[in-house]
Amino acid sequence: MTTLSISDLTALIRRAALAAGFDLCGIAPAADAAELAHFPAWIAAGRAGEMKYMEARDENGELKRSSLRRIAPWAHSVIVCAINYNTENPYSTQVHDPDRGWISRYAWSREDYHDAVLCRLQQVEAAVCEAVPSEERTNLITRSYVDTGPIVERVFARHAGIGWIGKNTCLINQKQGSWLFLGVILTSLELTPDVSALNPPPPDRCGTCTRCIEACPTDAIVAPYQLDSNKCISYLTIEKRGSIPEELRAGMGRHIFGCDICQDVCPWNRKAPVTTVAEFKPRPGLVNPALAEFAEKLAEMSEEQFRETFRRSPIRRARRSGLRRNAAIAMGNSGNRDFLPLLDKLDSDQDESVAESARWAKARLLASGEESSTE
Ligand code: B12
Ligand code: SF4
Ligand code: SF4
């Protein structure tokens, strides 16, 4: 095999990414970008909540995510790939049926996005290996990650020219919007980066807009570009175990898994293209599901049946207990007193976080009835 020039190899990687089904691909230098300097303060302020993996430290006690140079000194380039997961379905801000809950767009898929993105990244990785002459392959290192490594992926996506980090903290591409999953490949190859002194990263196109900050029901975007996970519905419904702080429950509305509001209201998602990826087609029953039916099905399932049903879905992350707790809170926020008999059953549930959430939901529905009768 003849040795490819760096620019030919870089072009080959881009072609491989597109052939694997990614919508965007860029190369960032494996340097510690300025945005990473915010990370230690974010952790120190407790913004990661109970997500202890975010606080992983190296042997010197330094936060792993704050420096790629420290955790992967061998890496010279970061290949960042992005894939659109938007499907032709309404936004959460467009559906108002009080009997129905909301599962966020990214979780409707038939396959867990980690697997769908990782298998595509591995195709790109294979193309890289093949393009490197066999005698040089022993020195080549490549590692693929989809949320799985101590890497702040959005920062590298920005420095790969893929988009900017919006005030809602999401990575936004001018043409694609923000319904994008990211995947990164660290490599020892010195590829041609998309961003350089002469070619800066895409500009911040948020301008004076503050729609996401105003629309967030729990005020989780505490300042532009700063998200407090403890208040974020996505964190509360997916990552938080046990009871959800009472003062945040009303703001959760009818969300049962994740939250899309700060992206639904973003003007850059108004004309977001629709994906053609088969794995991202919604599973039946997950788009705007009927709350009672969803809660009843979960109640009937054993832990094993739950694991089997959601084996290939991001939904399993919230666990059966968390989803049942979320559904009870959502019913309490629905304003629909027809849920009272079902909540009556749940308030003596063996799972204390479900039972306690059901009691809260009942009290809220009853109080909302009283309020309207005294108006
Ligand atoms: C932890 C995590 C979460 C947490 C925390 C989110 C967060 N904003 O950090 C929770 C559970 C809340 C969450 C929610 C969601 N997540 Co998430 N999550 C992650 C994960 C694993 C790590 C993110 C991270 O490192 N955060 C650390 C903080 C510090 O980063 P940051 O908030 O982005 O802050 C950066 C800038 O805003 C800036 N900054 C920070 N502070 C300050 C202060 C000032 C003054 C300034 C100027 C700048 C600035 O620098 C920071 C970087 O250091 C990544 C995967 C990965 N490994 O990267 C996925 C990831 C970010 N999540 C993703 C998705 C899809 C979601 C959800 C849409 C899912 C949903 N529908 O419910 C929501 C979106 C919520 C939101 N508005 O961000 C995608 C995002 C894709 C995209 N287009 O951006 C990722 C990249 C996963 C993937 N591989 O595709 N997530
Ligand atoms: S995901 Fe929902 S709760 Fe979290 S910051 Fe966005 S709008 Fe707020
Ligand atoms: S809603 Fe406005 S401020 Fe928020 S991310 Fe989108 S463009 Fe930026």
If asked whether residues 18 and 86 sit together in one domain, one would say yes
Question: Are 183 and 215 in a shared domain?
Answer: no
* Ligand 1 touching residue 155 (CB < 6 A): yes
Structural domain count, the chain:
2
What are the CA-CA distances from residue 47 to residues 12, 38, 271, 277, 285 (Å)? 40, 12, 32, 34, 33
Q: Are the C-beta atoms of 237 and 259 separated by less than 8 Å?
A: yes
Expressed in angstroms and rounded, the spacing between residue 235 Cα and the centre of ligand 2 is 9
Q: 297 and 354, same structural domain? A: yes
Whether residue 155 is found in the same domain as residue 217 = no
- 220 lies in some domain: yes
Q: Are residues 297 and 347 in the same domain?
A: yes
> What's the pLDDT score for residue 375?
43
How far does residue 61's CA lie from ligand 1's centre (Å)? 23
Distance, in Å, from the CA atom of 9 to the CA atom of 28, rounded to the nearest integer, reads 15
Distance 285 CA to ligand 2 centre (A): 23
Per-residue model confidence (pLDDT) at position 371: 60
Domain with 148, as residue range(s), is 6-94+105-187
Check 147, 264, 344, 349 and give the catalytic one.
147
Query: Which parts of the chain sit beneath pLDDT 50?
Result: 373-375
pLDDT attached to residue 4:
86
Our answer on whether the CB atom of 168 is closer than 6 Å to any ligand 3 atom is yes
What pLDDT does residue 369 have?
66
> Tokens at residue 195, please?
């961003």
Nearest-CA residue for ligand 2 atom 2 is: 259
Q: Is residue 135 domain-shared with residue 241, that is, in the same domain?
A: no
pLDDT score of 2: 58
According to the model, what pLDDT value does residue 374 have?
A: 44
Shortest-distance atom of ligand 1 to CA 178: 83
What is residue 1's predicted lDDT score, i.e. its pLDDT?
53
pTM over 0.85: yes
Judge if the beta carbon of residue 93 lies within 6 A of ligand 3: no
- SS3 category, 78: strand
Residue 316, in any domain of the structure:
yes
Kindly state whether residues 167 and 256 are assigned to the same domain: no
Residues 237 and 362 occupy one common structural domain: yes
Say which residue the tokens 């591995």 belong to: 122
pLDDT given at position 197: 86
What contacts 67, CB < 8 A, 6 or more positions away? 32, 36
Q: Is 147 a catalytic residue?
A: yes
